[in-house]
Every structure is written in C-alpha cells, then in structure tokens.
Amino acid sequence: MMLTTLTCPEANYELSMLQNNELPGLLPFDLAAENGEWKMAYDITGQQSLDCWMETERMDAEVFSALLFAIAGLYERIAPYLISEEKICLQPDHIFVKNGTTEFSFCFLPELQSVQADPVRELLEYLIAKIDHHDDRLVQVVYQAYEKTNESSYSVLDLIGHNTSKEWAAVLQDRKEPERPAVDEGMDPADEDDVGEPLQERKSVLSGLFTRPKKKERKAEQAWFVMEDEEEPDGAMKQETTSYEETTTFLNPDEECCKGILRYTGTGEEKDLTITETPFFVGTKNGIGGILRSSAVSRLHAKITMAGEVYLLEDLNSTNGTYVNEDAVNYKSPVGLHKKDRIRFADEEFLFL
C-alpha cells in the first residue's frame, strides 16, 4: 500500500537530501525499481494509518494537540533542508500513529501535486467529521483551530492555542538534525545528481522489496510498505503482549444478527466468531467484535467490511499476517471472501461460512 511512483528520482533535490539525512517525524523510505518504474517504499512497521486508528481509538484534546505539534515540529525540521511543506502529505491514510502511543509520522511525497487549497484545513475538516461531538473540550479546540485557518496568514503552531511556549520549546530541544544538511562541500542546491549513491547501483539491492511472500515461509527482515509478517529466527510466531479480558456482547433482538460466521478450525482455545455488524475487527483489543486470545495475534489484526453483499477482509499491518487460503492479505488491500474460504490470523485458523 505504502508505495508511490517517481518519474525522475535522479533529478529531485529534496529526495536526495532525505536519502542522506533521516529526520524524526518522517517515515523511513527506500527506493526500488519495479517493472521499469522507480518507486518509494515506506517502512510502516508497528504503525497504523490515522484513518484506521480513528475507527477504533478515541481522539481527545491532548491527542489532537499532539498531532498539531507533530506537524509543526516536522515543518520546523525540514526547513533547513529546503524541503517544501507541500510535499508532506496530510491525508489521513498517509499519516501514521505508532501502536500504543500518540507518536505521529508522515510521508514525504517528492512529486506530490497538491490539489488542496490548504492541506491543514482539509485535515481539520476530516477530523471534525470523525471526532466525538460529546467531548466538549475536544470540539472546542478543534473548531477553534479550524476557525484560525480562515485567517490569511497562519502557522500550524497558531492552531494549538495558548500556553504552548513551554511545549514548543521542548519540541525544538528534541530536534536531532545535524548542524547543516549532509551535502558535498560547495554543492549548489540545484546540483542534485551529486548527492547519494547512484540510483542504478541501488536497483539490484532494493528491487526485492516489493515482493511479499504468500506462504508461511517468512524472512526475518524489516517490513517495507507491507504488514509485519516475519517469524522469529526459530520459526515461532512473534509474541504480542496484550492483556485479555472476557467481554460479553448483548445483541438487540430487533437487530439483524448472524450475518456471517468464522468457524474455528484451529487447535487452540479460540471460539467461533459471529459477524453481527461491519466494520468487524479481529484482534486481542478489548471491546472489539472478534477478540482472540493467541499471543501471536496483534491488538488490531484485521478488519472485515462489506461492499454490497460481499465481505471484504483487510489486514491492519499485523505482526504475523492475515491469510486467505494461505495467500497473504496485504495491508489496506481488501480481499473478497467466499464461502468455505480458509482464513488464518497469525496462527489461528477459521472457516468462513
């Protein structure tokens, strides 16, 4: 999913700068060639996109402020490198939240052609439609921020409100970029081809990043733009640390139930899962519809939605993968389900009925 095509990476000064200087707040990326095209692959290991995060987590005023601080801090960091703020994508599916935290990361898109008059304002419009409007404090700070975007000239820091000087000083203190960008002595910013190793020399090394294994055999290496699905060196599934609490769901007798069933066929202690509504989440997180006990299953492992009468299964960047008939389901690439499909969440197997 986290993939973007480049038409001329060799002649992109900003891209060359970021290849030589890793900046906090930007998703790490690498380059590779696929079918004659250069593409960027972003490392989203252990993270959820903001649009997915908003489906299962609750944003409050503190998280909202943390998001704005993250944007403001990133804009501050990229300025010495002559990186345009317009190349930082603020669309919800390109903003990532580190699992279990409120740490945000963003995608640098070197050839982003923004059709948005104001990306920050459009992000706020998205949040206004998604937030809990019973949270008075959150509603107040979000709408105040949105109103400030009507001003002819504003900074992201202006949107956070009063009493931010101490927090902003901490953001600046935590900056870890070098004293100056790592470029050749006397290099002119327009001389992009002299920065970094030649892209053609990187092709053979990086071209394998875009092939995801479809079977159980997994290599213990870093996940790039796909879900984390590696096994430990001894072949065991990675262990997820999650507290489990028994949850009882009471159904309204007037509501339609038993829309779909995942019949447990594994050898563990899991039970059948009944899909009573969509989206239907599977994982170890308390409060979701499909709670599993296995330590190999991620907190938010997968999601089932509907398109018409068709059920769609989507992996949520899980650690040990989601499979349909032993074919890997890629992150944010929904797969249609059919009766008697064999579905595996990490090491737990089900039959779709």
Q: In Å, how far are 157, 275, 351 from 257, measured between CA atoms?
A: 47, 8, 18
Q: What's residue 192's pLDDT? A: 40
- The CATH number of whichever domain residue 265 belongs to comes to 2.60.200.20
Residue 100 resides in a domain: yes
Q: What's residue 11's pLDDT? A: 59
Tell me, yes or no, whether 194 and 273 share the same domain: no
DSSP helix/strand/coil, 256? coil
Q: What's residue 45's pLDDT? A: 85
Residue 275 resides in a domain: yes
What residue type is 155 in one-letter code?
Answer: S
Contacting residues for 321 by C-beta, under 8 A, at least 6 apart: 218, 227, 229, 315, 328, 329, 344, 346
Q: What's residue 240's pLDDT? A: 56
Provide the token pair at 168. 């902003």
Q: What's residue 283's pLDDT? A: 93
- The CATH number of whichever domain residue 122 belongs to comes to 1.10.510
Tell me, yes or no, whether 187 and 268 share the same domain: no
Long-range contacts of 8-14 (CB under 8 A, 24+ apart): 9/38, 9/110, 9/199, 10/192, 10/193, 10/199, 11/192, 11/193, 12/110, 12/111, 12/192, 13/82, 13/189, 13/190, 13/192, 13/195, 14/81, 14/82, 14/83, 14/84, 14/87, 14/108, 14/110
Asked which of 183, 199, 215 is the last residue of a domain, the reply is 199
Asked which of 152, 173, 199 is the last residue of a domain, the reply is 199
Q: For each successive 10 residues of the chain (353 residues), what is the average pLDDT?
A: 60 78 88 78 88 90 93 92 90 92 91 73 94 93 92 86 51 46 44 38 34 38 40 54 46 52 93 94 92 92 93 92 94 92 96 95
Residue 219 resides in a domain: no
Q: What's residue 241's pLDDT? A: 52
The pTM is what? 0.68
Q: What's residue 207's pLDDT? A: 34
Q: What's residue 54's pLDDT? A: 92
Residue 222 resides in a domain: no
Per DSSP, the residues of 195-251 read SSS-HHHHHHHHGGGG----SS---SS---SS---PPPTTSPPPPP---------PP
Asked which of 176, 199, 222 is the last residue of a domain, the reply is 199
Residue 9 resides in a domain: yes
Q: What's residue 223's pLDDT? A: 43
Q: What's residue 99's pLDDT? A: 86
Q: What's residue 155's pLDDT? A: 87
Q: What's residue 259's pLDDT? A: 75
Contacting residues for 345 by C-beta, under 8 A, at least 6 apart: 282, 292, 294, 297, 301, 302, 318, 322
Residue 155 resides in a domain: yes
Tell me, yes or no, whether 164 and 28 share the same domain: yes
265 close to 349: Cβ distance less than 8 angstroms: yes
Tell me, yes or no, whether 189 and 291 share the same domain: no
Tell me, yes or no, whether 59 and 162 share the same domain: yes
Q: What's residue 112's pLDDT? A: 74
For 297, the domain range is 260-352
Tell me, yes or no, whether 99 and 191 share the same domain: yes
How many structural domains are present in the chain?
2
